[in-house]
Amino acid sequence: MSTAETHVLAYPFPSSGHVIPLLDLTKALLSRGVQVTLLITPNNQPLLPTNFPPNLHTLILPEPLFPNPNQNRLVAIVTFMRQHHYPIILDWAQAQAQATPPSAILSDFFLGWTHLLARDLHVPRLVFSPSGAFALSVVYSLWRDLPRNDTPQGPNAVVSFPNLPNSPVFHWHQLTLQFTKPERGGPEWEFHRENILLNIDSHGVVFNSFNDLERVYLDHMKKELRHERVWAVGPVLPLSPLPEERGGSSTVSRHDIMGFLDSREDGSVVYVCFGSRTFLTSHQMEVLTRALELSGASFVLSVGVAKAKEHGKVPCGFVDRVGVRGRGFLIEGWAPQLEILGHRSVGAFLTHCGWNSVLEGLVSGVVMLTWPMGADQYTNAKLLVEELGVAVGAAEGEEKVPEAEELAKRIERALGRSTKERVRAEELRNAALRAVGEGGSSQKELDAMVKVLGEVKHEGDAT
């Protein structure tokens, strides 16, 4: 049957790091003739493409409000969406019954409650994971097995995952705060647990990953979920041409950034960025900037605009000493990351290891320096350093911050021309490009997913 009869509701969590990859996946579905209705909030409308294809529709939903400052931000946003978006989507779907009714919901990992919405709409719900298969395997195991730790601050407080491939071990502080911070059994903890269990019960899961990157964990996920509806369709990135704006505007022009990079030698620049939601402490910032100074390397340093007193600022005098637009370039605010990483002069990427940044680093073929801060980042760092061999460990949160001299040495190592990490970086870059190329594994997986959705709709029509 025609893919035009398949109508997917794409529902991201309303944060740019979640909206952007789901938008990229949406574009791939649209290119296959699938109808997509994007459920989006007003603040994220600027992320939408300017020229809508005819098979893309939007349903604008109320912006989440969380008036209680003491409530966890994630819990507040998701609770608002469940309470206020749910009835709007139901009413909208009923109005579509005579046109092209929804045939599936593709929703973010944080929106586990949409499994219940899909049940009310009599359609399957697919989980879109903003994390990789390794990270999600750890999270699913964590909430299923519910390990305890009576001494979370102890140096030997570790959690092992013997049922996962390679039996990974993590320190307690490396696990997601959603599991370790709330009181076990309390309302917030149970909220997160329900979200995970609803994700596990959903019809399938879609990863922004690819087989050659995480095959063993993708296979593990199929085994754990007891079905084959696990698709690795990534990296879902706009490799060419790059969009003018991808998530925000910068305080500096692309022309100036590219001019600086054009003046550098091939592979000589380290790009430093911790994502749009991570802010360094004063100590972390002092160590980082001192290390950049000591390393002698050229660099692009992207930092968020400090919004609270605990956020570290670039130390006074640093810019003057390294000579911005001389040896270093400072960006405050959004950075055109894909374009920077893809420049010939960038050889290393110091990153917090958010999954979007990991994938952008991989397709650019740069060596990564890992400095995870929370969420899935410790898991991603372990994958990059210990299993894939494509990265150098730089630091960990506030717990393991090396001396500036040591961090400088790690930066120098990451910029080395013939290291084992650089060889692996090139291998994985090629593997990523093969996966998304014509006939590649990710293209085949996406076709298989679309086929399953068409069959599900066909079965529903026949009943």
Stated as kind and residue range, the H or E segment containing 37 is strand 35-40
AA letter at 347: G
Express each pLDDT in 305-336 by its tens digit. 655 555 667 777 787 777 655 788 988 878 88
Predicted local confidence at residue 189, as pLDDT: 95
- DSSP-based three-state secondary structure for 301: strand
Domains delineated in the chain: 3-236+436-462 (3.40.50.2000), 254-417 (3.40.50.2000)
Q: What residues are labeled active site?
A: 18, 108
319 phi/psi in degrees, rounded to 5: -60, -40
**pTM greater than 0.95:** no
DSSP result, 86-106: HHHHHHHHHHTTTS----EEE
Locate 76 and state its tokens.
């507040």
| Residue 380: exposure state from Cβ atoms within 10 A (0-12, 13-18, ≥19) | buried
The alpha carbon of 166 is separated from its chain's Cα centroid by a whole number of angstroms, namely 23
Confidence of residue 95 (pLDDT cuts 50, 70, 90): confident
Predicted local confidence at residue 219, as pLDDT: 97
Average pLDDT over residues 150-158: 67
User: Rounded mean pLDDT of the chain?
Assistant: 89
Give percent above pLDDT 90 in the chain: 69
- DSSP-based three-state secondary structure for 231: strand
- Asked if residue 3 has pLDDT above 80, the reply is no
- DSSP-based three-state secondary structure for 128: strand
